[in-house]
Amino acid sequence: MVMESSENGTDLSQDDNGTIVEMPEDTILSQQTSVNLVPFIGQRFVSQDAAYEFYCSFAKQCGFSIRRHRTRGKDGIGRGVTRRDFTCHRGGYPQMKLSEDGKMQRNRKSSRCGCRAYMRIVKRADFNVPEWRVTAFSNIHNHELLKANEVCLLPAYCTITPDDKARICMFAKAGMSVRQMLRLMELEKGVKLGCLPFTEIDVRNLLQSFRNVNRDNDPIDLIAMCKKLKDENPNFQYDFKLDGHNRLEHIAWTYASSVQLYVSFGDAVIFDTTHRLDAYDMLLGVWVGVDNHGMTTFFGCVLLRDENIQSFSWGLKTFLGFMKGKAPQTLLTDQNMWLKEAIAIEMPETKHAFSICHIISKFSDWFSVLLGSRYDDWKSDFYRLYGLELLEEFEEEWREMIDKYGLHDNKHIISLYALRTFWALPFLRPYFFAGLTSLCQSETTTTFIQRILSAQSLLDRFVEQVAEVVEFNDRGSKQKQPRKSQKVCLKTGSPIESHAATVLTPYAFGKLQEELLLAPQYASFVVDEGCFEVKHHTQMDGGCKVICVLCEEQISCSCHHFEFSGILCRHVLRVLSSNNCFHIPDPYLPSRWRLNSSSSINPLSNATRQHSEKIQLLESLTSALIAESIETKERLDVACEQTAMVLSRIKDLPRTTQSANDIVYNCPSDLILPEVEDTDGIVQSFTMGTSHEPLTSGKLKDRRPRDGIDITRKRRHYSDSCCGHFEHDSSDCPMMEGDNLNGDALGYI
């Protein structure tokens, strides 16, 4: 066992498996507590905050408070935080600190005495649902524990909830004294005199913080700041509304980069309205999404004075105005009925869904006491129901779950079932959500919004500080974009995999690769022409129905995985492999998951839209050319030579003058494909130069045979697909037919 030494002098002698080191005999065991509140190894929580609240309740009943201690991992980096320790507030030892003049500070008294009571939680994933489990717990203290009337005075328990803050603010406006407020709240809550979770000093500090906020001038300064940003950058957009007393009621804004990102990634959006700016008593709403690299993208922000249908309608209508009337395909929010009604009015074509994270976070309050020891089993059953594929299975197993746990008359269960079309995956799979419904993505989004909340100091600086957070996030997204040295590991050796690696971003390719690895576990049976039944090799009944007509590029699966995520499912990939299809048809590699999804085609050009099919065909042809060429050095040499000939011929064609109808195709100066590492560990990479630089040196038209051998004899004829699309060859390829190219022009590649 390794002793872990912390930065504040605490030595916690515990490992990840929950081993507890024996303490000296003079340590004090905490007093008896309720069985339902005692942590135990293996206990599960949906989040760090849920575990903290549970341990905090346990500590309060025992007579001490806790604090967050050491972590493993960091938010926003890699897998994020994977381990968290909570310790007694008297753990560790005080350390002397140097003052600004270099002198040691005077020795102040400290409550820390090296107490080793703690609880450790580790992040695990069961049923593809991340959760936190208790892996170590010790409740042995080396100090006296406080009595019930003393523990409530610890700073950790002197907290004022948002509801209490609102009531205190209302009492202050009515002219009540602080003592009158406290007495009235004691009567409302039915607690004894002096037993509120906060003291008179806490209330006075809260009121002083409200007085330090200039509620009249700060909103005016915020509008002035938005106007200043608009003058500096005309693409910055904002709008606001004043009430009858000429005071700020609502304000919304977005940045130029956010509008551009929304064009490419605004198909699936989260509208988070679960936070408030308490000092200004305004609700904060944030629009975010996910880009082609799986990074959180910021679309807009809104501050609302009231939480009602009219306020939400104003915010949604203003957001649509920023985005030129383009509504998202899907919108994910918390379970707010006023917001639900506003979305139905302002975005009738948008599929609205509730975030499962916000629903799950309430389970502990709703069901833990009611179900007792069966609570964990019920959660497992709920997660399994949530992830089912078929509606019939969901309805049948929901009834069985209600019967099993006797929840027929529970109001929360009745409400969940009535709103099942807003949260259950069997009802959401036919709609595209870009992975936003996953708990991992929800945690990433929450972390991003927490950064925005940390920026709330003065309201007039809030817009600029949010812009800094957005800029920092954009820089992180750019760092995740593929570089020349980035490797993509191929695990299956499938041509489908190697082709997809050259088209999709590493994030999207990783999702597809997960399905490819599982595809061989499924069996495919022909039911009818173009119709297949695919089921796991251990299944005797059931399975998914796959429609696959390659000549018409028509592919669908009853699991709706592609419609839901934009990534082909394992069932379809199994059918493609069984039918000797070596490339995924172009329509099933969505542009929003491609490497060049953000700026491939200029959306302002009408001619571009008219030729979009040919441009997509050219992209597919290029991808197929590269995938086939990198197999051998001979293929690569022929590809470079013949591509240079075609490029030289294109340059000889006359150019038209620039006009509004010209085709504008924004191609990067260097088309850099990621390095591909096959299963043998051999790294393959390919880089194409600019369109103005030939790929080979010398004059191609005067080429001479090498070593006296006619080069035309070295050309190889291929009978398989010429452009990645099947059911035709190079003689009737639509790409060659449309541009009068023949086999000689392309070198039979």
- Check: pTM over 0.85? Answer yes or no: no
* Same-domain status, 226 and 335: yes
Q: Same domain for 225 and 319?
A: yes
Tell me the residue length of the chain.
749
Residue 587 lies in a domain: yes
Burial classification of residue 234, based on how many CB atoms lie within 10 Å of its CB (0-12 exposed, 13-18 middle, 19 or more buried): exposed
Closest CA relative to residue 445, chosen from 434, 432, 456: 434
Domain co-membership, 126 together with 50: yes
Tell whether 325 is covered by a domain.
Answer: yes
The predicted structure's pLDDT at residue 461: 66
Residue 725 lies in a domain: no
Find residue 596's DSSP bridge partners. none
Residue 342 and residue 431 share a domain: no
Residue 300: predicted pLDDT:
92
Domain boundary, last residue among 593, 617, 647: 593
Taking alpha carbons only, the member of 70, 98, 102 closest to residue 84 is 70
Boundary of a domain, candidates 304, 333, 354 = 354
Residues 239 and 336 in one domain: yes
Counting the structural domains of the chain, the total is 5
Per DSSP, what are the bridge partners of residue 537? none
For the packed helices 506-518 and 570-578, what is the interaxial angle rounded to 10 degrees? 70
How many CB atoms are closer than 10 A to CB 399? 12
In terms of domains, do 229 and 320 share one?
yes
pLDDT of residue 459: 63
Tell me, yes or no, whether 483 lies in a domain: no
What pLDDT is stored for residue 376 in this prediction?
86
| Any domain includes 181 | yes
**Residue 368 to residue 374: CA distance in whole angstroms:** 8
pLDDT for the residue 473? 61
Model pLDDT for residues 86-107, shown as the tens digit of each residue: 999 888 887 766 655 556 555 5
Is residue 134, in this structure, part of any structural domain at all? yes
Q: Write out pLDDT tens, residues 382-427.
A: 989 998 888 999 999 999 999 999 999 999 999 999 999 999 999 9
Instruction: Provide the 10 A C-beta neighbour count for residue 70.
Output: 17
d(CA 58, CA 676): 52
Q: Please, what is the angle between helix 459-479 and helix 217-232, to 10°?
A: 40
Residues 577 and 519 in one domain: yes
Does any domain span residue 29?
Answer: no
Q: In terms of residue numbers, what domain contains 205?
A: 162-215
Examine the domain organization and report whether 306 and 405 are in the same domain: no
Same domain, 290 and 240: yes
Are 507 and 589 in a shared domain?
yes
- Ramachandran assignment for 219, one of left (phi > 0), alpha (psi -120 to 50 degrees), beta (any other): alpha
Any domain includes 638: no
Say if residue 463 is in the same domain as residue 397: yes
**Intervals of the chain under pLDDT 70:** 1-36, 73-80, 96-110, 126-129, 209-219, 278-279, 454-461, 472-487, 597-613, 616, 619-620, 623, 655-749
- Position 390 scores a pLDDT of 87
Q: Tell me: do 114 and 208 sit in the same domain.
A: no
Specify the pLDDT at position 155.
75
Among 475, 508, 543, residue at a domain's last position: 475
